[in-house]
Amino acid sequence: MQTHEIRDRFTNHFVTAGHTAVASASLLLDDPTLLFVNAGMVPFKPYFLGQQNPPFDNGTATSIQKCVRTLDIEEVGVTTRHNTFFQMAGNFSFGAYFKEGAITHAWALLTNPVDQGGYGLDPERLWVTVYLDDDEAAEIWEKKIGVPAERIQRMGMEDNYWSMGVPGPAGPCSEIYYDRGPEYGEEGGPAVDDGRYLEIWNLVFMQYERGASDSEDDYPILGELPKKNIDTGMGVERVACILQGVDNVYETDLLRPVIEAAEKVTGTTYGASEEGDVRFRVIADHARTSMMLILDGVTPGNEGRGYILRRLLRRMIRSARLLGATGATVETFISTIMDTMTPSFPEIIDNRERILRVALNEEKAFLKTLESGTKLFDETAAAVKNSGKSVVGGHEAFELHDTYGFPIDLTLEMAAEAGLEVDMAQFDAEMQQQRDRAKADSKAKKHGHTDETVYREWVDAHPTEFIGYNELTAEATVLGLVADGASVTSAPAGTDVEVILDATPMYAESGGQLGDRGRLVAGDTVLEVADVQKIGKKIWVHKATVIAGGVELGMKVNAEVDENWRHGARQAHTATHLIHGALRQVLGPTAVQAGSLNRPGYLRFDFNYTEQLSPDQLDEIALITNQAVDTDWSVNTIETTLDEAKAMGATALFGETYADDVRVVEIGGPFSIELCGGTHVDTSAQIGPVAVLGETSVGSGARRIEAYSGLDAFKYYSKEAALASGLASNMKAKTEELPGRIAQLTDRLKAAEKEIQNLHRQQLTAQTGQLLERAETVGDVRLLMVKLDGVAAGDLRTVATDLRGRLKGETAVIVLASDVDGKVPFVVGATQAAVDKGIKSGDLVKLFGEYVGGRGGGKPDMAQGSGNDVAGVEAGFSAVRDRVANS
């Protein structure tokens, strides 16, 4: 049974049982506790936390959620059961049914015959576990389902008790295991051998509320929840192993084709060695996870989600090289995994070109890193050999790994080829320190959701009616007031208060458009509204200050949008659509939106693209945008279903979740058609001019365009024209002659600066002989340490190089430092005899940097750095003297 059929059977089983089918959320959710969605229940957290009531018929839902877990990437492939990406099929009950319902549903799907919609598993091969004191679940399994008591095992809190890791819902679990047979391990159930007995489904019974604790498996239980809920998770990949009769998840229909592709490009056979098999599994796993992350809008970078993606791609590339691949491999692996995953995720088809572009660009960058890293390793290895040693320091290996992205396995391989070893104990210690720092940072960032329970009454009972598409003023009733995080009945003058109305013309911040500003007025009462936010997608919260009078619950007020604010916001938001349309015309469909912000008169538009735009491309985007304004197209809004909107070709924002009924904004037919709930002008000419300011990088594979719209664009152009006119007047030239005149002046200035710099260096070089007279003898080393104030870093290096050349026949070390506007550039040079003695410039630079609040690095014979504490220079000199004396 293919994986996509396993998914379909799961969904059909629960939809037939009355559950609402919920599409998988993006891997990227606005959740302060998560980097990626890592469990099937994550999109349902607001309902489990009691922040919102579930909007599902019968209080039940089912989904197949895409998930990513990356805590121990190094362990991927070592075991054959774990993937960084996986699909979690789940059914959820919010007070509708509890233990018996969850157990009955799961057992029926697993054991019903295939021709009746089930998976047809042999009931005799299924084992279950329950929590230690969960007699209720154990009795259901034995009495209701008929599982023999000897196949029901009780486990402790670590295995069979669940919580979110923060205060909130918690409860016991019951897990279902499949016995793969004696060839896989020892008999006796999952308590004896969880290699033979494969966990395939976890049923979580949320019935308690847990308190705060620093321990993951020891926390106080505060009491029972008012509603008992169900959260289950069935591992799609693990069930596929069983139904496809393969040993592990890497041999299923989704990943085995990637391994076969890797065999072809590497010339190595899967199954030939355990070490090689691990690398094959890394390729298959990381290819899929990388592809799915790019699909959801992640681009490689140096932090956060982007760093995870970069690391996955580079480990995949490196694994292929270690298996024997010599050229580019990414296109083969990513294309193969897209083919296997498309039946389950058809949106891959429309994003195929973009996914490949991002992945291939990262491969090119990494191949350059491998080249530069190899040079750095060669220098390190040469220094080790010259010192008479045979071990590359763990610190150097870690620096190659952490700073330059050079994989440790490559360092080990190259060290062996050079007849050297690597101090892995020190490397592992530094890696552990890095992990500890990461965990501490993660723990510091991990906190509960913003407490929105104060709004729950209104979210559940009084969703705000937004009437602002057609009206800018409206009479409304005050349904709720919140001050300092608590519900209040009134607010006097001078109070900052959040006001909840039954209806409002004010737009709440969403889709990149900032919330409206305006006023709430009732007789002598006046509230200035500075922002409007949406809670639970149902209520509009007006953040206001009571300017006069006072506001009370039940009061009738006139809600008035600031017309100037709305006018500018509509212009900017509609201009954003035009720039998106122009961008796709110039760059093609792979340049997709990754986010935006628009406020009156200004917009920025982020898009996924791997290359810097040329001036000509930017000019063309600006021209097409303003041509669209001049064409005066009608701006049409269409309310329709999500499926119909997709059929129309409407584009959507990555990571955004849309309801079944959506709003489409269409401008100029195929020029621009997008899903959007924002406010817009009636015709494109109402935008006024659009001034494209420029384009910048906001991360690897992500770019940003900024622009002014309307009157702000006119002011910008007017200011630019006045500036050009002023320059032309001062230079006695025509405006169109300015670029040439400025280029001539720039060239002359650069030539003059270069001449001055050369003269300055000649003066410094002339003083070299005098500087040598200040050298001292420390042991058998000539040590010259001088502070040359006002000398830039480049000139310091020139002087140090000259001094080292004059002392090349001796065992000598030169240390130069300067004070340049409070900054402390410093350089250390060492002759070859000093390097052979074990004195490395890089080590001395790091030592000196500790005293001047800086850091640096370089080669054994020449290194440099910069600090910001001039007062520490003499102490730095002293520390270097002591180090040289002990060499």
Domains parsed from the chain with CATH numbers: 3-250 (3.30.930.10), 254-370 (no CATH), 389-446 (no CATH), 453-561 (2.40.30.130), 566-721 (3.30.980.10), 773-885 (3.10.310.40)
Q: What is the pLDDT of residue 450?
A: 46
CA distance 381 to 378: 5
Backbone angles phi, psi at 821, to 5 degrees: 55, 45
Task: Please calculate the CA angle 767-772-773 and round it to the nearest 5 degrees.
Answer: 105
Torsion sign, CA atoms 72, 75, 81, 85: positive
CA atoms within 13 Å, Cβ hemisphere of 339: 12
E strand or H helix that includes residue 564: helix 563-587
Q: What is the pLDDT of residue 444?
A: 45
Determine contact, residues 260/283, Cβ cutoff 8 Å.
no
Query: Does the structure show a pLDDT above 60 at 449?
Result: no
Beta bridge partners of 206: 229
CA atoms within 13 Å, Cβ hemisphere of 723: 6
CA atoms within 13 Å, Cβ hemisphere of 885: 9
Please identify which residue in the block is written with the tokens 């015709």. 683
CA distance 529 to 518: 5
- State mean pLDDT over 208-222: 78
Listed residue (508, 502, 507) closest to 475, CA to CA? 502
Query: Does the structure show a pLDDT above 50 at 358?
Result: yes
Q: What is the DSSP letter of 145?
A: I
- DSSP codes joined into one string, 73-120: GGGBTTBSS--SEEEEEEEEEESS--HHHHHHHHHHHHHS-GGGTS--
Q: What is the pLDDT of residue 595?
A: 83
The pLDDT-based confidence of 729 (bands split at 50, 70, 90) is confident
For 22-36, the pLDDT digits (tens) are 999 889 876 666 789
Q: What is the pLDDT of residue 657?
A: 60
Query: Does the structure show a pLDDT above 50 at 448?
Result: no
CA distance 479 to 491: 13
Amino acid at 872: G
Q: Is 680 annotated as a binding residue?
A: yes
Q: Is 542 annotated as a binding residue?
A: no
Q: What is the pLDDT of residue 446?
A: 40
Q: What is the pLDDT of residue 245?
A: 93
Q: Is 551 helix (H, G, I), strand (E, B) or coil?
A: strand
CA distance 100 to 118: 19
The pLDDT-based confidence of 743 (bands split at 50, 70, 90) is confident
For 847-873, the pLDDT digits (tens) are 999 999 998 888 899 999 999 999 999
CA distance 207 to 137: 13
CA distance 682 to 117: 52
Q: What is the DSSP letter of 682?
A: S
Q: Is 688 helix (H, G, I), strand (E, B) or coil?
A: coil
The pLDDT-based confidence of 87 (bands split at 50, 70, 90) is very high
Q: What is the pLDDT of residue 535?
A: 86
Give, in order, the Cα–Cα distances in Å from 844 to each of 519, 819, 850: 65, 19, 10
Q: What is the pLDDT of residue 152?
A: 96
> pTM for this structure?
0.66
- State mean pLDDT over 42-53: 79
Listed residue (493, 497, 479) closest to 548, CA to CA? 493
Q: What is the pLDDT of residue 500?
A: 95
- The residues, any chain, with a CB within 8 Å of residue 215's CB and separated by 6 or more, are none
E strand or H helix that includes residue 592: strand 592-599
Q: What is the pLDDT of residue 214?
A: 73
Burial 759-782 (b: 16+ CB within 10 A, else e): eebeebeeeeeebeeebeebeebb
For 782-829, the pLDDT digits (tens) are 999 999 888 888 888 888 998 998 898 899 999 999 998 889 999 999
Q: What is the pLDDT of residue 442?
A: 47
Determine contact, residues 334/356, Cβ cutoff 8 Å.
yes
Q: Is 573 annotated as a binding residue?
A: yes
- State mean pLDDT over 255-270: 95
- Mean pLDDT, rounded, of the chain: 88
Query: Does the structure show a pLDDT above 70 at 447?
Result: no
Determine contact, residues 839/886, Cβ cutoff 8 Å.
no
Query: Does the structure show a pLDDT above 50 at 445?
Result: no
For 758-773, the pLDDT digits (tens) are 777 677 767 777 888 8
Of 692 and 304, which is predicted with more confidence?
692
Express as a percent the part of the chain with pLDDT over 70.
95
Of 686 and 215, which is predicted with more confidence?
686
Determine contact, residues 23/63, Cβ cutoff 8 Å.
yes
Q: What is the pLDDT of residue 634?
A: 94
Q: What is the pLDDT of residue 263?
A: 96
Q: Is 601 helix (H, G, I), strand (E, B) or coil?
A: coil
The pLDDT-based confidence of 405 (bands split at 50, 70, 90) is low
